[in-house]
Structure 1
Amino acid sequence: MVAQLDALKSSNRPDFPITLTQLFINGEWRNSSNGKTFDVIDPTTEAVAAQVAEGTQADAEDAIAAALQAFEQGPWGQISGHERGKILWRVGDLFLKYTEELAFLQAKEMGRLYTDSITIDIPHLANTFHYFAGWASKLEGSVKQTTKGLHTYTLREPLGVIAAITPFNFPLVLSIHKFAPALAAGNTIVHKPSSSTPLSALKVAAIMQEAGVPDGVFNVLPGPGSTVGHTLSTHPDVHKVAITGSTASGIRVIKDSADTLKHLTMELGGKSANIIFADADLDAAAETAYYGVFYNKGEICYAGSRMLVERSIYNEMIDRVAGWAKRTKVGDPFDPESQMGPIANKSEYENVLRYMEIGQQDGARLVAGGKAVDIGTGKGYFVEPTVFADVNSDMTIAREETFGPILSVIPFDTFEDAIQIANNNQYGLASGVHTRDIKKAHRAAARLKAGTVWVNTWGQFDPSSPFGGYKMSGYGRENGQEALEFYLQTKTVWVDLS
C-alpha cells in the first residue's frame, strides 16, 4: 500500500484499460438482449469513461433464473460451509491483489479519492470477506427440549436468490456489505449497481469468478431501476431485496415487493445529528465534525450534516469548522493533495447547488463555501465545502438529506434541548456525541433515536459491528453476526421417537 501511494506521489498517474463493460450472467459476459448501452461519465472531466451494456427485463429474468438454478441445483448449496468459507476468503485476498485497479475505477466513475480507496475502502472489503468467510462454517441450529418422546431441532437455511441494489456513493463498500453475509449464508445474488458506478461492480464479478464462485451464484446487471430494479423487486423467484439508497427508492422497493412478501433489508437516507457539548475537546470535535460531513464530498448516508452546538461555544465552533472547510483542497481525485473530489454525477451536482441556494433563501447564514468550484479545467462537478450557521429545524437544509458537502449548524441550550433537536427528524441512521463526561455520553446514547451513536469520534466501522437505521432510515442490519440473520431463515424439525 505504501508503494502504491509513493508511486502516485511521483506523478505516475494510474491508468487501467476499462474492458469489463458487458452484463455478467451465469458466469458469462454478454451484451444486453436489445444491444443497448449507456455512457458512464467521469465526473472530473465530464468525458465518457466507458459505454456499458444496459440490462433489460429479459436480462434480469435470465439472471434470476441463473441464480435460482445455482441455488437449487448448483454446487453452492451442496458444498460445506467450510468450502464456502475458503472461496470467500480467496475473494477477500483478490480485493487486495486488485487494489489499484479498483481504486482507479471508483475514481473514474464517481470521483472517490484514489488514496482513500487504497487506504480505507479496499482493506475494508478484504476484511469484510475474511470476517464472513469465518462465519460460513458456523451457521448452526440447536436442539430444543420439548415433549418427551419427541426430538426437536432447528436448521438455519439460506433464503435463496438475493437482489442487491446499491448506490453510487460508496459503490464497493456498500455492495460488499450485502455480498459477504449473503454468500456466507449460502444464498445466490443478482446485483444491480447504480448506473453511475457499474465499472467497479463488473470488476467484482471478475474477482468472484477468479476466486472460484460457481457460475450463476453471482450475477451483475447494470441498468435502470425502472426496468432492472423493478423486475428484481417484483419477480417471485427473488426471495430478498437488500438495498442501500434514498428513502424514496426504498419505499418503491417495499411497494414493488409486497405482492411476493420478500424479505427486505433497507439501508436508507439519513440526516444525522452530531452533538457538541461545551465540555468537549473542541479541537478534536471540530476536526471530527468536519470529516463527519465533508468526507467523500458529503455523499454519505450517515453524514453528520446537522452539527448541534451548545450555545456557550457556538461561535467558536462555527469558526473552527468553517476554518477547516475553507482550507479544503478541492481537486482531481487522482491528485494525492486533493481532500475532496467531484460530486459523483451531474444530477447530484445540480441538486447540491440547489440546496446551497435554498439554505440562503431560507435565511441561514453562509459562513463558508456555497458555490461551484473550477479547478482550472472548466470541467467537472466540483463544489465548495459549505457551512451554514443559525439554522433551525424547520429549514429545508436541516430536514432533508442534501447528500453533499453542506453542514447545518444549530445551537442548543441544555442537554434536553440537544436530544429533542437531534430526534426531531424523520431519519435515524446515525448520531454523534462530543463530551468529556462519560455519564453524559451514555445518557445521550440511550436517548438518541438512531441505529449508531459515535462518542468523540465519527464514521467508525468494522465487519464485526452492525449498522442500520431507525425510523425512515430503514430496517435490517449490515455487518456483524446480526447481518447473517437477515440472510437466513429457521426451520424447526419435529421427530416422533415413540
Structure 2
Amino acid sequence: MSTGKPVLTTISPITQQPIHTRDEFTPDQIPSLVEASKAAFKNFKASYDLAARQKLVAKALDILESKADERARDLTEQMGRPIQYCASEIKTAVARGRYMLRVSTEVLKDVPGDEEAGFTRYIRKEPLGIILVIFAWNYPYLILINSLVPALLAGNALILKPSPQTPTIPETFLSVLEEAGLPKNVVQVVHCGNADTLSKLVSSPGIDSVTFTGSVAGGLATQQAAAKRVIPVGLELGGNDPAYIRPDMDVKWAAAEIVDGSVFNSGQSCCSIERVYVHEDVYDKFVEAVVGVVNGYKLGDPFSGSSHLGPVISVKSAQNIRKHIQEALDAGAKSLTPDIFKEGEALGETFVRPEILVNVNHNMRVMKEETFGPVIAIQKVTSDEEAVQLMNDSDLGLTASIWTRDVPTGEKLAELVEAGTVFVNRADYPSPDLAWTGWKNSGRGQTLSKFGFDQFVRLKNFHLKQAPTP
C-alpha cells in the first residue's frame, strides 16, 4: 500500500529499468534536519579536537579502501562506467583523503601575529558549522571526498545531497564513518530531486555553507537560492576543455592520451577533453592516429570486464550528445568514427559510440558548449597564437592541455590560457596537491590542495594584551 510519500527512483543507464528507490526529502523535514545537525556540530566541536578528528578520518579511509572492490559494482550499476575502472575511483578518493589528512595539521594550526612585547596575537581557523554538500553522479566518490574530508577535519557537521542517480554512495560513506566512530548526525544524508525543496534547504538559516558540483544552470540556481544570506557558496561547474597538439609532438603517443582524455567515462567528466586543436604540420598524421586508437576501443556491457565504454547516464543525455553531433554534421563536419561499434550501439539508446569529428569550427555547438559525451572534435590551426585564441574562446575554463616536446614553450603558452588548471603533456587529472578550481563559468572557490580547507573555516583573531601589574 502506498504511503503517499514522494519517492525518488533511480533508473539504470544500462537497462532503463528502476534499480533503487528512496523516500524523497520534503520541506517539512528541514527544521528537524537542521536542528539535529546543530546539536551534533556543537557536540563534535566540544568533544573532538583535531587529533581526534584526524584519527577518525584515518580509520574511515582505511575502512573505505577495504570496501573498494565490493562497492565498485554500485558505480557500474548506477552510472554505467565499466566495472574494471570503478574500484580505482574509490581508491583514488582514499588517496585524496589521505593527502588532505596529511596536510591538515599544518593547514589548520593557529597562525601567529607579529611579535610585540606585552602582546599575544594569533589567527585561529574555526569551523563554519553546517555544510550542505550537493554533488554530481559522474565521479561521486571523488567529488564527495573533496568536501567531506576537509570539512570534517575542520570540525564541521555535514548534510550530503547526492544526485538521485547515485543514492548509495553517500550512504556508503556514512556507514564507513559511523563504523569508524563518528557521532550520530555529524553527517546526514538527504535524497532530494525537487528543485524547490532544495532551494528551501539552501536558503535555510541553519545552513552555514554550500558546496555544489554539477551543471552551470544548477550552480546558478544554488547561488541564487543562497543570495539573501551571507554564506560562502563553492561552485564546481562545467567544462569545455581544450587540447592543443604542437607540431613537434609524437602524434601516436599524443593520440592515445587524447582519446583517453576525451572518452574515458564516456566523456562524462567535467575535465574531459572536448576540443582538440592540431597544428597543420601534423594534423593529418594525428587524425589518422586517433582513428587507429579508437579502433581498439570496445563499446559494450559495462559488467563484461572487456568494455572500454559503457552507456551514458540517461536517454536524455544520449539524445543531447547525438544532437550536438548531428548539428555539426549538418553544418559541414565529417565523422571518421570506425564502423566497429554497431554491436555495442544495439544494446540501447544510451550506448553512444565514440565520435571523431573533423572539419569543425567555432560556429558549432560541439565546439562552443559542453557536450559531456564521448566526442573528439578536431580542428586544424596554423600557429600557437591561433591555438591559444581558440582555446580561450569559451565561457568555461576548468582545464586545458598543451602537448609538446618543448616543455618550456608549453609552460609559456599555459600562462596565456584561461583555465584553472593547464596541463602540459597530461590531461584529465585533478592532482590532490593542486587547487581544483574553475575560471569563468566553470566555478568559484576551490577544493583539494592546502587551499581546499579555506571554504570550510572562518578566521577568528585573538588579540591579547598583558595587563599592568599594580
Match for 1:259: what amino acid? K
8 A Cα contact 2:44 2:155, kept in partner = no
8 A Cα contact 2:335 2:357, kept in partner = yes
Alignment of structure 1 residues 86-235 onto 2, 5 Å: 86-118=55-87, 120-138=88-106, 139-145=108-114, 149-235=118-204
Alignment of structure 1 residues 446-465 onto 2, 5 Å: 446-465=415-434
Question: Displacement, 1:367?
Answer: 1.6
Question: Displacement, 1:301?
Answer: 0.5
Question: 1:33 & 1:370 partners in 2: Cα distance?
Answer: 50
Question: 1:305 & 1:437 partners in 2: Cα distance?
Answer: 23
- What's the secondary structure of 2:235's corresponding residue? strand
- What's the secondary structure of 1:278's corresponding residue? coil
Question: 2:3 & 2:150 partners in 1: Cα distance?
Answer: 31
Segment of structure 1 superposing worse, 356-365 or 104-113: 356-365
8 A Cα contact 2:12 2:78, kept in partner = yes
8 A Cα contact 1:76 1:217, kept in partner = no
Question: Displacement, 1:155?
Answer: 0.8
- What's the secondary structure of 1:312's corresponding residue? coil
Question: 2:5 & 2:51 partners in 1: Cα distance?
Answer: 41
Segment of structure 1 superposing worse, 475-484 or 228-237: 228-237
Partner of 1:41: 11
**Structure 1 residues 227 and 203: CA distance shift in structure 2, 3 A:** farther
**Structure 1 residues 77 and 356: CA distance shift in structure 2, 3 A:** farther
Question: Displacement, 1:429?
Answer: 0.2
**Structure 1 residues 211 and 320: CA distance shift in structure 2, 3 A:** same
- What's the secondary structure of 1:157's corresponding residue? strand
Moved >6 Å (runs of 4+): 369-372
Question: 2:338 & 2:26 partners in 1: Cα distance?
Answer: 42
Choose from 46, 52, 56 the match for 2:26.
56
Question: Displacement, 1:258?
Answer: 1.0
Is 1:487 aligned to 2:460, yes or no?
A: no
* TM-score (norm. length: structure 2): 0.94
8 A Cα contact 1:156 1:491, kept in partner = yes
Match for 2:24: what amino acid? E
**How big is each residue's C-alpha offset from its partner over 1:389-433, in whole Å with a ceiling of 9 and x where there is no partner?**
121122111111001111211111111111111011101100001
Question: Displacement, 1:78?
Answer: 2.9
8 A Cα contact 2:44 2:186, kept in partner = no
Question: 2:26 & 2:388 partners in 1: Cα distance?
Answer: 47
**How big is each residue's C-alpha offset from its partner over 1:180-231, in whole Å with a ceiling of 9 and x where there is no partner?**
1111111111111111111222222211211111111111111114144212
Partner of 1:67: 37
Question: 2:448 & 2:82 partners in 1: Cα distance?
Answer: 24
Question: 1:92 & 1:188 partners in 2: Cα distance?
Answer: 18
Choose from 375, 387, 396 the match for 1:406.
375
**Structure 1 residues 33 and 82: CA distance shift in structure 2, 3 A:** farther
Choose from 440, 461, 472 the match for 2:441.
472
Question: Displacement, 1:59?
Answer: 2.9
Question: 2:261 & 2:344 partners in 1: Cα distance?
Answer: 24
Match for 1:447: what amino acid? L
8 A Cα contact 1:33 1:59, kept in partner = no
Segment of structure 1 superposing worse, 456-465 or 154-163: 456-465
Question: 1:112 & 1:201 partners in 2: Cα distance?
Answer: 18
**How big is each residue's C-alpha offset from its partner over 1:111-163, in whole Å with a ceiling of 9 and x where there is no partner?**
02211112x21211211222223344441122212776443221111111111
Question: 2:37 & 2:259 partners in 1: Cα distance?
Answer: 43
Partner of 1:322: 291
**Structure 1 residues 33 and 87: CA distance shift in structure 2, 3 A:** farther
8 A Cα contact 2:256 2:293, kept in partner = yes
Question: 1:170 & 1:476 partners in 2: Cα distance?
Answer: 19
Alignment of structure 1 residues 376-391 onto 2, 5 Å: 378-379=347-348, 381-391=350-360
Question: 1:440 & 1:478 partners in 2: Cα distance?
Answer: 28
**Coordinate RMSD, CA, aligned:** 2.1
- What's the secondary structure of 1:300's corresponding residue? coil
Match for 2:21: what amino acid? Q
Partner of 1:355: 324
Segment of structure 1 superposing worse, 293-302 or 120-129: 120-129
Question: 1:339 & 1:68 partners in 2: Cα distance?
Answer: 45
**How big is each residue's C-alpha offset from its partner over 1:21-60, in whole Å with a ceiling of 9 and x where there is no partner?**
xxxxxxxxxxx99633222111112221122221112234
Partner of 2:273: 304
* TM-score (norm. length: structure 1): 0.89
Segment of structure 1 superposing worse, 91-100 or 430-439: 91-100
